[in-house]
């Protein structure tokens, strides 16, 4: 069994950061700062309109490099060819409706569009525009054309836009853009549109079981892995429902419906309801096995010299219920954070759990070996009920998520999406 060693930082890469002419350009300053702090060489290529929102001195100060502004600057270096040829990633944010249209039609009327034509590395376009523009048939068509060519066009977030408007078309938060860019640098084929037309349900976070109005029984789950699974699924085309327990410090993934819960009983109710319409169910949440048999209505005072012993009762096994009540063709995936003991190692415990739960796939994480709880990276194994075992590489949780979705997508290919089938009532 391979143990996860210390996580090595990503090697420096060459990134072209294109800036479109939208008000959201100011948010990309944070994206640039984080990329350069990670050691990457970032060449900023703004459109003329972009420089009306954020000027060249800002981009140059943050990148430490001159801004590339025109087709006829540094002619001997042939920048409109060299930038794309030598880049490891081209990231464009915000990508306006105009930029999407010009890219889809292969225009080369400025340095940024010319760079898109010459790039042979992953291209990530992050749209930002008003909802009416994003939903216009012309934009929808342009996005389809770009995706058909292998360009990654990210799903925008929903929320407050320019002025009082609100809706789909908001630029995702810088952390999410960085996560997607980092994923593509690690794995260029991580975001195919192979989940388009599918509805998936994911649980995330750790449940809290009240002891009294102040205290609770909980666990160390941050919800990061579940959120990464949701983010990657949405960018691979799925309709995503995320049932989240106590993940207040995490930003909701763009294009994802989030349902917030607190206790294991809340989680069970929300998960069973959402699973009734899902092609795949991924139980990444750390659901408490036990809850206090009698939660105190008042704070338990420290002055009690001999406090009553804590009496616990079992919570429902949600994963087991999902397996028993699954839809025809539905893929059910469990997560197991394990530690070895005197009888079995982590992987042996995982194999036993896969059998006892009866799920299709089980992700096994070794707790305390550089992954699992309260960190940004993860590793482990993906176990299948047909006996196939895949070791998952150490890396960002979005990287592990992409490999999990590979396994799920391969299974879903065998079945058509369920139409009107419903989850049988849990017993």
pLDDT (tens digit per residue) in 303-334: 766 777 888 999 999 999 999 999 999 999 99
Out of 219, 315, 365, 378, pick the active-site residue. Answer: 219
Band the pLDDT of 163: cuts 50, 70, 90: confident
Adjacent-strand bridge partners of 332: 281
Task: Calculate the average pLDDT of the chain.
Answer: 89
Residue 3 has pLDDT above 80, yes or no: no
Task: Give the rounded percent of residues in the chain with a pLDDT score beyond 90.
Answer: 73
Per-residue pLDDT at 73: 61
Phi, psi of 75, deg, nearest 5:
-55, -40
Contacts of 315 (CB under 8 A, 6+ apart): 209, 264, 265, 268, 287, 288, 289, 290, 291
Task: Give the rounded percent of residues in the chain with a pLDDT score beyond 70.
Answer: 90
Residue 183 has pLDDT above 60, yes or no: yes
Residue 345: how many CB atoms within 10 A of its CB?
13
Mean pLDDT (whole number) for 251-274 = 96
- To the query of whether residue 219 is one of the catalytic residues in this protein, the response is yes
Domains 14-186 and 199-297+310-412 share a fold: yes
Q: Which CATH architecture has domain 14-186?
A: 3-Layer(aba) Sandwich (3.40)
Q: What is the DSSP letter of 302?
A: T
| 329-351 residue pLDDT tens | 999 999 998 777 767 788 888 99
In this prediction the pTM is 0.90
CATH class of the region 199-297+310-412: alpha beta
Mean pLDDT (whole number) for 368-377 = 61
What are the extents of the domains in the chain? 14-186, 199-297+310-412
Per-residue pLDDT at 78: 52
354, 387 in Cβ contact below 8 A? no
Question: Token pair of 377, please?
Answer: 């990276």
| 380-409 residue pLDDT tens | 999 999 999 999 999 999 999 999 999 999
Q: What is the DSSP letter of 298?
A: S
Mean pLDDT (whole number) for 217-243 = 95
| Secondary structure of residue 226 in the 3-state scheme | helix
């Amino acid at each position: 069994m391979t143990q996860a060693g210390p996580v090595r930082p990503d090697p420096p890469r060459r990134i072209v950061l294109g800036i479109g002419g939208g008000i959201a350009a100011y948010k990309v300053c944070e994206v640039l700062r984080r990329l350069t702090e990670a050691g990457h060489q970032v060449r900023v290529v703004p459109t003329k309109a972009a420089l009306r929102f954020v000027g060249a001195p800002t981009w140059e100060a943050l990148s430490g490099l001159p801004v590339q502004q025109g087709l006829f600057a540094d002619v001997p270096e042939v920048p409109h060819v060299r930038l794309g040829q030598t880049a490891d990633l081209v990231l464009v944010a915000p990508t306006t409706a105009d930029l999407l249209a010009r890219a889809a039609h292969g225009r080369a009327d400025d340095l940024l569009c010319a760079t898109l034509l010459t790039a042979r590395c992953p291209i990530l376009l992050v749209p930002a525009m008003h909802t009416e523009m994003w939903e216009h048939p012309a934009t929808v068509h342009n996005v389809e054309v770009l995706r058909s060519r292998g360009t990654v066009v990210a799903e925008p977030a929903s929320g407050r836009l320019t002025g009082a408007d609100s809706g789909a078309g908001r630029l995702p938060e810088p952390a999410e853009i960085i996560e997607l860019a980092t994923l593509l640098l690690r794995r260029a084929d991580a975001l195919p549109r192979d989940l388009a037309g599918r509805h998936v349900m994911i649980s995330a976070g750790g449940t809290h079981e009240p002891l009294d109005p102040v205290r609770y029984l909980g666990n160390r789950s941050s919800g990061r892995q579940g959120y990464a699974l949701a983010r990657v699924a949405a960018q691979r085309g799925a309709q995503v429902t995320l049932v989240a327990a106590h993940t207040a410090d995490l930003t909701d993934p763009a294009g994802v419906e989030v349902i917030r819960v607190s206790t294991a009983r809340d989680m069970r109710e929300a998960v069973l309801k959402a699973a009734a319409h899902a092609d795949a169910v991924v139980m990444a949440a750390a659901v408490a096995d036990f809850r206090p048999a009698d939660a105190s209505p008042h704070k338990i005072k420290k002055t009690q010299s001999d406090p009553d012993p804590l009496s616990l009762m079992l919570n429902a096994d949600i994963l087991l219920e999902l397996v028993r009540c699954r839809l025809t063709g539905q893929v059910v995936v469990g997560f197991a954070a394990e530690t070895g003991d005197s009888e079995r190692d982590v992987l042996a415990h995982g194999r036993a759990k896969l059998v006892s739960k009866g799920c299709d796939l089980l992700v096994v994480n070794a707790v305390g070996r550089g992954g699992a709880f309260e960190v940004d990276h993860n590793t482990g194994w993906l176990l299948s009920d047909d006996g196939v075992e895949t070791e998952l590489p150490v890396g960002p949780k979005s990287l592990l998520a992409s490999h999990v979705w590979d396994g799920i997508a391969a299974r879903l290919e065998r079945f058509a999406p369920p139409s009107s089938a419903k989850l049988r009532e849990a017993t």
